[in-house]
Amino acid sequence: MSSPVPRPRDPRRRPPASFAVARTSQASVVAASGELDLTVTAQFAALLATELHRRPPALICDTSAVEFCAARILTILIDTITDSAVAWVPFAVAGRSRALLRPITALDLERVLPVHNSVAEALNRMTLSADPSSLDSPR
């Protein structure tokens, strides 16, 4: 018995990509949803660059609602890690959706591009790492 051949995606049924930005005193959160394919890479890169240029206390990309992630999106996220380090703005990716984790795992990028479970977890991690008093010190 052979397994059924998967059908190609119906482009009429794909949820379009959308982006939203929320700014608080703690961070700017860029939320992405839908299918992040090659048609939105320029828009996504520009949005992250614009937020980084604003120099928020932290920048978080929430990918929890992403349903498809092109490899080029991963390149943009990695570029943002580098750019945020130069700008001294902590950056994190949140939302462990299968669509995002699958290409990260396939390309062996887990150490380069860590993904937090949620925006709250990412913010908590960044706050802890930025606060030297939160680190254990030898006594």
* Total residue length of the chain: 139
Helix 41-53 crosses helix 71-87 at what angle (to 10 degrees)?
A: 10
Q: State the pairing for strand pair 59-69/28-36.
A: parallel
Q: What domains are there in the chain, each with its CATH number?
A: 16-130 (3.30.750.24)
Model confidence pTM above 0.95: no
**What does the pLDDT look like over 82-136, one tens digit per residue?**
999 999 999 999 998 999 999 999 999 989 998 999 999 999 988 776 554 434 4
SS3 state at 74: helix
